């Protein structure tokens, strides 16, 4: 159990007091509240609605540091969340002050939210925590040294539980705290899904007794233990990929579920293959464009898959406009062959690329995003682009890269699978023996 209270500055002073907006004053100061709170065995959570109160409150905490034995969480809504019209607390200022003055605390970093129970779904414009919201949060707190908990509103857990689990998978000291707003209409199945697929050590609950009772009843009906169903999905099969970030404005967040590539610089996943002979490779997966539909030029493709050897390169590009480009070119840029394809604009596409050294064939299909609340208009529409190589490839060196190159739209990469069939002398010998036996059988049958 946590003792929780809002902290504001008494109007016209630097004295932190315990008051919830729109109140501007209180007869209870932070010092008095802390003096009482430390006499209990409960943890403490201080909630800041304005940045001006943070530093004076930290100074007060420092004066009482030796007596603060219980866990201490410092909370602020630093990013915009579903349907909110509130201004978030300055994220860099809040995290910076807390990290400098009271680093042993737990950062509780939330999103501003708005839920109107009687508002019909078409008018409730956002009914989930979107990838844009999640990635916006990570740019501020991924590199902090303190433990972080993310308060999430229970009303959107049903539509967002997989992304919330993804968030807790990024760092061992990331947790989420599910809270309930007065009047919220909560689908209990979302809480059940979160409990069954997430790690219970990374999930806290702050729920009223009535909702808690419904939640417990539903768990008993389903008859499964916490975390027993494992992750909702995993993203990587086959060889291991490394992350390459060549720009300070780009980031890659990856875990067992999927990879997010963000920012406006170069960042990509790379598979380094030894310079051995190969017969074919197949790369498949799904990409989601997070920032929505944007017009791009040929040089601004948002997803680029490149492969090649020392002399010849292969470039495959896909944009959320549906434009597809497949190009083979020499490393000296003297020769190039390009083919184009076109799909309906979409947020999500599934791709399959097959390279057999003679030609390369790429198939793209419009699919439904995992977090989509409704299917796209052109679900299942596909296109195929193919070209024959001007020369045979002999090896595959450090060449399979998947990512973004200076495009501003963020990417979510899921279900990634790379299969490489290597050529070997043993395989060649077996193939020669098989051909020889087949030939002898043919000759014998025709004698």
Helices (H), 69-227: 91-101, 131-141, 157-168, 188-197, 209-222
Query: Whole-angstrom Cα distance, residue 206 to residue 199?
Result: 17
Predicted structure pTM score: 0.87
Helices (H), 359-415: none
**Cα dist from 91 to 56, 80, 135, 291, whole Å:** 17, 11, 14, 21
| Of 84, 77, 90, 20, the residue nearest 51 (C-alpha) | 90
HSE, side-chain direction, 13 A CA sphere, residue 63: 10
pLDDT of residue 152: 98
Identify whether 2 is preceded by a cis peptide bond (ω within 30 of 0). Answer: no
Nearest-10 Cα torsion for 369, 370, 374, 380 = 50
Q: What is the pLDDT along the chain (447 residues), one digit of tens a residue?
A: 789 999 999 988 999 999 988 887 889 999 999 999 999 989 999 999 999 999 999 999 999 998 888 789 999 999 999 998 889 999 999 999 999 999 999 999 999 999 876 655 545 578 899 999 999 999 999 999 999 999 999 999 999 999 999 999 999 999 999 999 988 999 999 999 999 999 999 999 999 999 999 999 998 887 767 777 888 888 766 567 888 887 888 899 999 899 999 988 788 888 876 656 566 788 899 999 987 444 444 445 667 777 776 677 788 888 888 889 888 887 777 778 889 999 998 889 999 999 887 888 999 999 998 888 778 888 999 999 888 876 555 555 546 788 887 677 889 999 888 888 765 544 444 444 444 444 444 444 444
Q: N- to C-terminal Cα distance for the chain?
A: 90
pLDDT of residue 231: 86
Bridge-based pairing state of the strands 242-245 and 148-153: unpaired
Burial classification of residue 408, based on how many CB atoms lie within 10 Å of its CB (0-12 exposed, 13-18 middle, 19 or more buried): middle
| Of 62, 53, 60, 58, the residue nearest 20 (C-alpha) | 53
Backbone φ and ψ for 27, nearest 5 degrees, come out as -90, 5
pLDDT of residue 304: 79
Q: How far is CA 151 from the centre of its chain?
A: 17
pLDDT of residue 285: 92
Contacts by residues 421-424 (CB-CB < 8 Å, ≥ 24 positions apart): 421/278, 421/279, 421/280, 421/281, 422/276, 422/277, 422/278, 422/279, 423/276, 423/277, 423/278, 423/279, 424/277
Residue 57, H or E segment: helix 54-63
Query: Whole-angstrom Cα distance, residue 3 to residue 367?
Result: 46
């Amino acid at each position: 159990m946590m003792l929780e209270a809002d902290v504001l500055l008494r109007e016209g002073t630097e004295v932190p007091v315990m008051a919830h907006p729109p109140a501007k004053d209180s007869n209870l100061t932070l010092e008095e509240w802390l003096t009482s709170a430390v006499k209990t065995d409960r943890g403490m959570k201080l909630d800041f609605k304005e940045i001006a109160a943070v530093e004076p409150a930290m100074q007060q905490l420092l004066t009482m540091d030796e007596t603060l034995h219980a866990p201490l969480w410092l909370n602020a809504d630093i990013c915009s969340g579903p349907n909110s019209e509130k201004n978030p607390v300055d994220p860099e200022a809040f995290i910076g002050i807390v990290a400098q003055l009271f680093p042993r605390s737990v950062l509780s970093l939330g999103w501003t939210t708005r839920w109107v129970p009687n508002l019909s779904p078409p008018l409730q414009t956002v009914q989930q925590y979107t990838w844009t919201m999640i990635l916006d949060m990570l740019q501020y707190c991924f590199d902090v040294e303190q433990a972080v908990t993310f308060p999430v509103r229970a009303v959107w857990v049903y539509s967002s539980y997989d992304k919330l689990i993804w968030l807790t998978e990024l760092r061992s000291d990331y947790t989420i705290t599910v809270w309930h707003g007065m009047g919220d209409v909560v689908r209990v199945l979302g809480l059940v899904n979160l409990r069954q697929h997430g790690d219970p050590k990374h999930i806290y609950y702050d729920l009223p007794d009535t909702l808690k009772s419904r939640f417990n009843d539903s768990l008993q009906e389903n008859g499964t233990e916490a975390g027993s169903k494992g992750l909702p999905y995993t993203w990587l099969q086959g060889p291991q990929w490394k992350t390459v970030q060549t720009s300070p404005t780009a980031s890659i967040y990856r875990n067992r579920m999927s990879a997010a590539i963000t920012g406006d610089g170069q960042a990509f996943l790379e598979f380094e293959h030894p310079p051995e002979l190969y017969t074919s490779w197949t790369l498949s997966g799904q990409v989601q464009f997070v920032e929505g539909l944007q017009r791009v030029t040929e040089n601004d493709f948002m997803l680029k898959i490149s492969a090649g050897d020392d002399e010849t390169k292969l470039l495959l590009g896909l944009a959320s406009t549906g434009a597809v480009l497949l190009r083979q070119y020499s490393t000296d840029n003297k020769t190039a062959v390009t083919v184009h394809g076109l799909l309906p604009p979409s947020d999500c596409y599934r791709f399959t690329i097959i390279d057999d050294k003679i030609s390369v064939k790429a198939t793209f299909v419009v699919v439904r995003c995992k977090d989509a609340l409704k299917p796209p208009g052109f679900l299942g529409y596909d296109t195929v682009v193919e070209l024959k190589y001007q020369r045979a490839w002999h090896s595959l060196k450090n060449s399979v890269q998947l990512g973004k190159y200076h495009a501003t739209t963020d990417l979510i990469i899921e279900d990634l699978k790379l299969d490489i069939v290597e050529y070997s002398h043993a395989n060649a010998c077996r193939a020669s023996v098989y051909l020889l036996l087949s030939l002898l059988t043919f000759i014998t049958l025709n004698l």
